[in-house]
Chains A and B, each alone.
Chain A
């Protein structure tokens, strides 16, 4: 299982802070496409970054079972 974390508008659209998905072995890019369809995310992937286990990661790397993945929408601190 992959634990997926949502923030900001993605959290509102998903209706949850996180969820576990059966996606080990797929890429973060493929997982975003699947979840964007399921939850109706409006942000295109090229406006996001992805993090795995609390560090920025590559969209194309294969996701190991048990990792925590976060989709990072454009940030607006300050």
Chain B
């Protein structure tokens, strides 16, 4: 495998078109993308904004390993993942995953897998700010 496999953190808004352009390949028959957006509620509570904090040295290292594992595991050509840090408003893109492949199965499967594994393994944390006041870091039980 010699395709592009990269993970990055970004303090600036994510430019999906620019990322998509890095996945273009004459051998590709398509591209699957997932954008995770900041939602205005969590567990029934109104959310007005989010902060993401990361441990950059380890997040980039672990995120890159995840994307490289996807390149080895699935029939795909290239894969990229970018995660925001800092303060985000409702509707902004918090995470972007894109995968190009010769055929759709690999692209869909790898896109889903990368997102799931990044959420589980990469040291990034979400702090939700609620409309009713207060905020809370999310530390999932599993």
Q: Which of B55, B61, B115, B125 contacts A76 (CB 8 A)?
A: B125
B126 on the A face (CB < 8 A): yes
Across the two chains, which residue of chain A brings its CB closest to B116? Answer: A78
Instruction: Report yes or no: A78 in contact with B118, Cβ–Cβ below 8 A.
Output: yes
Contact with B along A18-54 (1 / 0, CB 8 A): 0000000000000000000000000100010001001
B122 on the A face (CB < 8 A): yes
Interface size range of chain A in the complex: 20 to 34
Q: A47-B139, A51-B58, A54-B58 are known contacts. Are A78 and B53 too (CB-CB below 8 A)?
A: no
Q: Which of B52, B57, B61, B141 contacts A77 (CB 8 A)?
A: B52
Question: Complex Cα distance A54/B61, Å?
Answer: 8
Q: Which of B54, B119, B127 contacts A78 (CB 8 A)?
A: B119
A16 on the B face (CB < 8 A): no
B121 on the A face (CB < 8 A): yes
A72 on the B face (CB < 8 A): yes
A9 on the B face (CB < 8 A): yes
Instruction: Report yes or no: A76 in contact with B126, Cβ–Cβ below 8 A.
Output: yes
Question: Complex Cα distance A73/B139, Å?
Answer: 7
**Which B residues fall within an 8 A CB radius of A?**
36, 52-55, 57-58, 61-62, 83, 94-95, 115, 118-127, 137-141
Q: Can you list 6 A-B pairs, Cβ within 8 angstroms, ordered by A? A: A8-B125, A76-B137, A77-B54, A77-B83, A77-B118, A78-B36
A66 on the B face (CB < 8 A): no
- For residue B102, give the distance in angstroms from its CB to the closest CB of chain A: 27
Give chain A interface residues in 47-78, CB to chain B under 8 Å.
47, 51, 54-56, 70, 72-78
Question: Complex Cα distance A12/B118, Å?
Answer: 24
A-side contacts of B115, CB under 8 Å: 78
Q: Which of A5, A12, A74 contacts B140 (CB 8 A)?
A: A74
- Among A51, A76, A77: residue with most chain B CB under 10 A: A77
